[in-house]
Amino acid sequence: MRGLKNFNTFIYKFTRYEFWPWYLIFLPLLPIYVYGVIRTRKLLYFTAANPSIDMGGFFGERKDEILALIPNEYKASSINVTNGLTLDLAKKVLAENNLQLPLILKPNVGERGNGVRLIHTLEDMVSYAANESEFLIQEYIDYPLELGILYSRMPSEQMGIVSSMAEKEFLRVKGDGVSTVGELLQSTPRNNIYYPLVASDYTERLAIVPALEEDFIVHRIGNHIKGTRFIDANKHITKELNQVFTTLSNELTGVFYGRYDLKVPSYKDLQAGKNIKIFELNGVSSEPGHIYDQNTVFTAYYDLAEHWLRLIAISHQNIKKGVKTTPLSKFLLQVKNHFFG
């Protein structure tokens, strides 16, 4: 039976592009990259889109440096840890920075949710620190709505646009009053994909029996790698929202293209620019999250192509204004250190 479930899961992943390797998603867009090279006459043109972020935020950027660009009123509190932790030191760090459990821990340099944990005890924090040379301790924002909002602005224009909004639905199961979380996860192809993850991160949860019709959230980290489903929320994009993010982004000198990952109590608050808590800002490698909730891969490719063309236009304007692209030697060294070091 387990073998049949695994086969069904394989077919499910194969037929849904949200689970394809990143290179399969982006390889068909190679002609657009080549067009950008020809138009800008720069091999690494995209690194000029965000002058204030190392390599434009393509990869390997430090999260603490990017968060430092965001006004305090809009972001979750966070601190960078570089020297490991003992229990006493962990208590001191939290007290000095007015942070309380639970907390989010994440590598200061990392992508796609790798290494992100929600921890509830100081012992968990010390254990995490033993395996990470440098990481962020970040305030856990318990707001009901988590979003990925991609915003960009042409350097020559005053007003920018929100071009993608994805609502994040955490990994969850619907209780029947009899089955365990583990059994419920294995009962659907998508959730079965994440059974090994839950078995590793939260073994004790597999034995819980949710009540009848209980909506049990299994994992509260809003990354696809943690089981989160991205829901197209573009219907909530308005002129007012464009103004909110233009006002916010104008305070971030040298940032023209990126995706804000944030929490907010409601869409009403979001439209008013109230109670927004940003916990991450990704640069030019940002994906428009809504594409993973499209009917066909062709629709997703069309939307991706539109975003890449806008990124090219932004980069081109910055290059013409004198912004330098990342030297190829530095780029290749970063690739070596980041992926093979």
Sheet holding 117-119, edge to edge: 78-81, 135-139, 103-107, 117-119
Number of domains, the chain? 3
Same domain for 236 and 130: no
Helix, strand, coil percentages, rounded to 5, for the chain: 45, 20, 35
Q: CA distances (Å), 329 to each of 58, 59, 264, 333, in order?
A: 15, 15, 41, 6
Strand, coil or helix: 216: strand
Q: Which long-range contacts (CB under 8 A, 24 or more apart) does 2-10 make?
A: 2/186, 5/186, 5/189, 5/192, 6/192, 8/189, 8/192, 9/189, 9/192, 9/193
Rounded CA-CA distance 53/326 in Å is 11
Q: What is the pLDDT of residue 4?
A: 58
Rounded CA-CA distance 257/273 in Å is 19
- Residue 230 and residue 224 in contact, taking contact as beta carbons nearer than 8 Å: yes
Which residue, among 330, 315, 279, 329, has the nearest Cα to 103 in the 3D structure?
Answer: 279
Q: CA distances (Å), 78 to each of 140, 161, 270, in order?
A: 10, 28, 22
> Strands, E, within 1-112: which ranges?
78-81, 103-107
Tokens encoding 186: 């294995």
> Does 48 reside within a domain?
yes
Instruction: Identify the domain containing residue 132 by its residue range.
Output: 77-140
Neighbouring CB atoms inside 10 A of 33's CB total 15
Q: What is the pLDDT of residue 300?
A: 92
Same domain for 248 and 158: yes
Q: What is the pLDDT of residue 60?
A: 82
> Does 296 reside within a domain?
yes
Same domain for 262 and 231: yes
Which residue, among 147, 154, 148, has the nearest Cα to 309 in the 3D structure?
Answer: 154
Q: At a CB cut-off of 8 Å and minimum separation 6, what does 83 contact?
A: none
Write the CATH number for 84. 3.30.1490.20
Same domain for 160 and 87: no
List per-residue pLDDT tens for the chain, 341 residues long: 555 566 777 888 888 888 888 888 889 999 999 999 999 999 999 999 999 999 999 988 899 999 999 999 999 999 999 988 899 999 999 999 999 999 999 999 876 668 899 999 999 999 999 988 899 999 999 999 999 999 999 999 999 999 999 999 999 999 999 999 999 999 999 999 999 999 998 999 999 999 999 999 999 998 888 999 999 999 999 999 999 999 999 999 999 999 999 999 999 999 999 999 999 999 999 999 999 997 788 999 999 999 999 999 999 999 999 999 999 999 999 888 766 76
Same domain for 226 and 216: no
Same domain for 84 and 136: yes
Please give the DSSP secondary-structure letter assigned to residue 211.
P
Same domain for 237 and 272: yes
Q: What is the pLDDT of residue 11?
A: 84
Instruction: Give me the numbers of helices (H) and strands (E) for the chain, helices first please.
Output: 13, 11
Same domain for 186 and 56: no
Q: What is the pLDDT of residue 112?
A: 67
Q: What is the pLDDT of residue 213?
A: 96
Q: What is the pLDDT of residue 5?
A: 64
Largest separation between any pair of C-alpha atoms in the chain: 65
> Does 333 reside within a domain?
no
Same domain for 304 and 160: yes
- Full-model pTM: 0.93
Q: At a CB cut-off of 8 Å and minimum separation 6, what does 10 contact?
A: none
Neighbouring CB atoms inside 10 A of 40's CB total 21
Q: What is the pLDDT of residue 93?
A: 92
Q: What is the pLDDT of residue 190?
A: 92
Rounded CA-CA distance 7/20 in Å is 16
> Does 336 reside within a domain?
no
> Does 281 reside within a domain?
yes
Q: What is the pLDDT of residue 260?
A: 98
Tokens encoding 111: 């992508």
Which residue, among 96, 157, 84, 94, has the nearest Cα to 120 in the 3D structure?
Answer: 94
> Does 337 reside within a domain?
no
Write the CATH number for 66. 3.30.470
Same domain for 106 and 156: no
